Structure 1
Amino acid sequence: MTSQRFPANLKEVVAIIRSAAEAGMSIAPQGGGTRADHSVAETAISTTGLTGITAYNPAEMVMTAQAGTPLSEVEAVLAANGQMLAFEPMDHRPVLGTTGEPTIGGVFAANVSGPRRLTAGAARDSLLGITFVNGLGDVVKAGGRVMKNVTGLDLVKLLAGSRGTLGFITEVTFRVLPVPRATETVVIAGLDDAHATAAMATAMSLPVEVSGAAHLPFTVVGRFLSGALPEGAATVFRLEGLPHSVAARTEKLTAALSAFGPIHWLGEPESHVLWREIRDATPYASARAKPLWRVSVAPTAGHQLMNALRLHTGVDAFYDWQGGLIWLQMEADPEADFLRRAIKQLGGGHATLVRAPKHLRKAIPAFEPESPAVAALSARIKASLDPHGIFNPGLMG
C-alpha cells in the first residue's frame, strides 16, 4: 500500500471512495490492523475514525456501533450489563504478532467466530443490520430497522465475511446474549484423534447443550492452561447456563462419555482460560515463522486429513468445532497444493493460510480458490456492488 486515509465521518468516506472510483484507484477497507494484510490495493481506508456505540438497549439485547469502535469497548459495555457477543471472536494478535486494536466492524467483515459457533452460530448469524458504502460511493443500509436492499440480495449476510471486497462498512447492528451464570468443562484424557472424533459426535448428539467441543492431541496439550491439563491428549466439552442446569447436564454428559476414558472436570476460572486459549490458537503464538492454516472440513473427516498429512510432512494441530475446525501448523513449507488436494479428496472444505513468511504469502493464495460456479456468482455480486473493482482487487477467490 502506498497511502492510508483516516476518514472521521460517513461524508468523508463517501468522498474518498467516489474520488477513488473516478481515478480508478484500488482501495482496501481496514479496521484495527490486527489480522494479516493480504491486500494489494494502492491505498487503505481505516475505520478507526468512525467510533462510538450509537444505540444499545440491554432489554432488547441489540447494539448498534460504528465500524471502528474497538471490540474491547463493545465487550466492556456488554459485560457491565451481563451480556456478551455469543460468537466469541478470536484475537489474532498472539498468533500474528500484530498490534493495534480489533474493531467491531473488522470482526464482522472477516466473520471472526470462536468455539461457541457450534451452538450460537458464526458472527454473521448475530449481524442484524449494516450500513456500508459501495464501489460507486453510494450509502447502502440493509437489515435492522431500515431496509434498502437495492440488489435483491441478502446484503447483511454478504458483507459479513467479505473481507472488504464488496464495500466499506461504516456501522453494524447486532444481537447479543446474556453471559452464562455458570461454566464447566468435561475432559476425557488420553484419546487418539479417531476416538476423540467419536466422543465428540456422541456428546453433540445428546440433549445437554454442549457449547464447545475440542480435541487437543498430546503434541499440543501441554501448551494449554500452562500445562495444567491431564497428561496425554485431552478432549474437552464446555457446558454453560444456570448453575443447577450445568450441574445436571455435566452429570449426564459424564455418564455418557465415561466409556471413552478417564474423566476430569474444570471449574469456571480454568474453563474460561482454556476456551480463550482455544479461541485464539494460543499454542501457536510462539513460533510465528512457521506457517499456520485454519482448515474447515466435515467433523468426521478431520482426523483422516491429519493422518494423510502426517504421512507426507511434519505438522502440529488441534481441533475445534467438534473436529470441523483444525488449527494446523506446518514445520516449514505450507504445502498448500497437497493440503488443498487432500481436503478435496475427503469430501471438501477450505483452508485459509493465516500466517506464513512474507515471500510465501505472496506466492500462495491465502484463501481457498472458488469453484467455477461459485466464482461466477461471486463475480456477479462484485459487479453489482463494486462495478469498477476498486475494493481489495485480487482478494476474491
Structure 2
Amino acid sequence: MKRVVITGAGTINALAHDVKGTLAAFREGRCGIGPLEIRDRDRLSIQIGGQVHNWNPDSHFNRQQIVLYDKFTQFTLLAAKEAIGQSGLNFDGHLGYDTGVVLGTAAGGVNTWDENYRTVYEEGKNRVHPFVVPKLMNNAAASHISMEYNLKGPSFTVSTACASSNHAMGQAFHMVRSGMCRAMVTGGSESMLCFGGIKAWEGLRVMSKDACRPFSLTRNGMVQGEGAAVFVFEEYEHAARRGAEILAEVVGFAMTSDAGDIVMPSQQGAARAIAGALRDAGLNPEDIGYINAHGTGTAANDRTECAAVADVFGHHADRLMISSTKSMHGHLIGGTGAVELLACIMALRDGVIAPTIGYEEPDPECALDVVPNVAREARVTAVLSNAFAFGGLNAVIALRQPR
C-alpha cells in the first residue's frame, strides 16, 4: 500500500477565487453569503446564497470554450489550474498515463439545463445548441480536465448528492494507495444558483431566508453556495523524490449507507463512517483534534451529526473541535466536501481552526466545541472531514500532518 499526499490545491467559491483568499476568509470568519444576483430573483422565496461574485468567464476562456463549458466546468477548470500549478507536475510524458481525474458533482450543468428550458418552453424555440448535452453532462468537468492536462488514467464523475466530493476524493485516494495510479486530480464542483436550481431546493423547505447558523439553537435551515475545489493526490515516494511541497497526508477513508430514509439522516450510518475512517487510517479517537463537520444548519443534520460524533469519540468528544464552514461559503452540495477539505489542510499546516460563524445560542443537543464565530489557534496532527448526503450516503476522509 502506498502513502498518499496532497501536493496541490485550488478553489473558487463565495469567499475568494483562490486558496489564499479562502484561507484568509476562514481565519477572519468572513461571510460570503448575501443577496443573490440572478434572473427572476423576485419570484423566489429564498433570495440569498453563497454566490461567486465578480466572475467573468471571458477572462479565463475563449468563445469556443465557453460554448462547451457550463459554469460548473468553468469553476472546476479554474480550480484545477491552481492546484496543478502548485503541484509542479507535468503530464506530457508517461505520468499522464498514470494519472486520472475523479470529481464530484450532484447535478452537473444546471445552468445549461435552466437556460435551455427557457429557450424551449418560455421563448418557444424548437432547437437548442448542438453542444447542450456535452455541456450539461455530469462528467463534462472531469473530461475537460483530462483533455486539458493529458490525463489518460481512470477518469470519471461521482454523483452522490452532498457527499459527491468526499466520495470522489476517497476513490482517488484508493487508486493512488493501491498503486493503480501515481497521481490523481480530484475534488468537486457545483453551480446550482440559478432560478430552476433554487426553486427545486425551495420545495424541500429546508432553506434559510437569512443565514446559515450550524449548531446554533436559532438556526432555521441551510443556504446554497457554488464553486469548486480541486486537489492533486500523489504517491508519497513520487512527491518526495521530486522535492514537492506536501500540504497534508491522506490516511483514511470510509463510506457507508444508512439504508433508511431518502432525506432523513441516520446517527448509526454517520457513526459507522466516522469510525470506519479512523480504522482505515490506523488512528485512535484521541488522535483527532478537529473535525470539519457536514453542519448544514438544519435541525435534523446538526443533531444527528453531533450524536454520531459523541457516539464514536466518547469522552474525547469534549476535547474535540468541530466546525462548519458552510456558515461562511454556503452548502456547495456536490462540491462542498472539496472546499471544506481546505479548512482541514489549514488546521494541519497553519494551526488555525476555521470557525462556525453566525452562532447565537447553544443547542443542548449539539453540546460540542463548535468553535463559535472566531477562528482559533490550536495544534492538531490529525483531522476528519465529514459528508452526509440525501439518500443516506456517508463519506468521511482522514488527514494528518505529513511525516
Q: Identify, as 1 or 2, the structure richer in helix.
A: 2
Higher CA-based Rg: 1
TM-score by length of 1: 0.29
Q: Identify, as 1 or 2, the structure richer in strand.
A: 1
